[in-house]
Amino acid sequence: MSEHRAPASSSAADAQPEGIRLQKVLSRAGVASRRAAEGMITEGRIEVDGEVVTELGRRVDPENSVIHVDGTRVVVNEDVQHLLLNKPKGILCSMSDDQGRPCIGDYLRERDGKLFHVGRLDVDTEGLLLITNDGELAHRLMHPSYQVLKTYLAEVPGPIAKDLGKRLRAGVTLDDGPVKLDKFRLVDVNEGRALVEVVLHEGRKHVVRRVLEHVGHPVKRLVRTAIDEVRLGNERPGAIRKLDRKEVGALYRAVGM
């Protein structure tokens, strides 16, 4: 004779419901205090997995739920990391090197979370490098179809012709095809050297160096200063900082997440 069990009481079922209350998750993520988050929910400013949520009892899974606040995605999974490294010159963009040369992995030895760098900077290029364990975001940032803008400062021999920016925005042809810069700006000229700002969404190897050499201005020093709205600030070479919520949201927005 089979054993019959009484169904669990509603009070017992409610004692350990699945997930965490949405306002608590938002508070943990630094969006707002719990009380302020409750107001945001009732005002219809929060989306969970594509659905506007207005009831305060909603529970979510921080590891898997996709949450947007005022249309901007926020990270609520505490295991997901988004970091900025100011890569020094002479550092390889790899997690390890069998020849023992200094590499990105040397800066991440003490950090958990299976971190990796998003894209590459060549060994002689300095500046902003994104570090994360967010695989989908990294994939989209590197995919050419999303056309994420990257900004560089390049030191080159001067003088700079007045029409150079126009030529580069119109496009030049390299050995592997045409390239157009999105923006070009002369920042400074001093003693035969010029500092120029280059913005482009291209991701081909050494593309900034090759474009500038193609037009007669071989690069002496190259620093990446921005990816979309994430900008290099006062970080010393080799320093790592956590991206803030606004910066992470901007990256998600740039790739349609």
Residues labelled as active-site residues: 122
Distance from C-alpha of 76 to C-alpha of 43, rounded to nearest angstrom: 20
Q: Which is nearest to 49 in space by CA: 58, 40, 57?
A: 58
Query: Are 37 and 76 a contacting pair, CB within 8 Å?
Result: no
Q: Which is nearest to 180 in space by CA: 202, 164, 162, 196?
A: 202
Which spans in 123-194 are helix H?
135-142, 164-170
Concatenated DSSP letters of 192-221: TEEEEEEEE---STTHHHHHHHHTT---SE
Q: Which residue has the tokens 């079922």?
A: 13
List Cα–Cα distances, 72 to 67, 85, 242, 250, in angstroms: 8, 24, 18, 8
